[in-house]
């Protein structure tokens, strides 16, 4: 009975931990760009906020990875459109992130694409 209870408690903690990250003050090491290719602090801040709310629990507060892979150099491997597809469709062991709106996925992908 104790093993079952511990499994339920651990499983619950795992699920709740994946629902969002804490309020870490990780610095932004890449700025996002607008449609004209100009840096926008508003987009960078929005991308970072979306990341912290939806991704940091698995990918780390500072993009260094945790249970999911590091994303600190995501832009070196993927373009913004590919990142949107990964967010919306999932890949490997990462499930599709249906709680992230299409607009937020685009903002997040633009922010991550700048990480090289």
Q: Which residues are annotated as a binding site?
A: 55, 58-59, 94
How far apart CA 66 and CA 25 sit, in angstroms, is 17
SS3 99: coil
SS3 94: strand
User: What are the backbone dihedrals phi and psi of residue 49, each rounded to the nearest 5 degrees, phi first?
Assistant: -65, -45
Q: Which residues are annotated as a binding site for heme c?
A: 55, 58-59, 94
């Amino acid at each position: 009975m104790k093993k079952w209870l511990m499994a339920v408690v651990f499983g619950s903690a795992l699920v709740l931990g994946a629902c969002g990250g804490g309020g870490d003050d990780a610095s932004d090491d890449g700025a996002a760009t607008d449609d004209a290719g100009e840096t926008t602090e508003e987009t960078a801040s929005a991308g970072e906020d979306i990341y912290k709310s939806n991704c940091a629990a698995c990918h780390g507060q500072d993009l260094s990875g945790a249970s999911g892979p590091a994303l600190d150099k995501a832009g070196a491997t993927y373009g913004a459109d590919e990142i949107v597809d990964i967010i919306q469709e999932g890949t490997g062991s990462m499930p599709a992130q249906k709680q992230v709106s299409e607009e937020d996925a685009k903002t997040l992908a633009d922010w991550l694409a700048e990480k090289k």
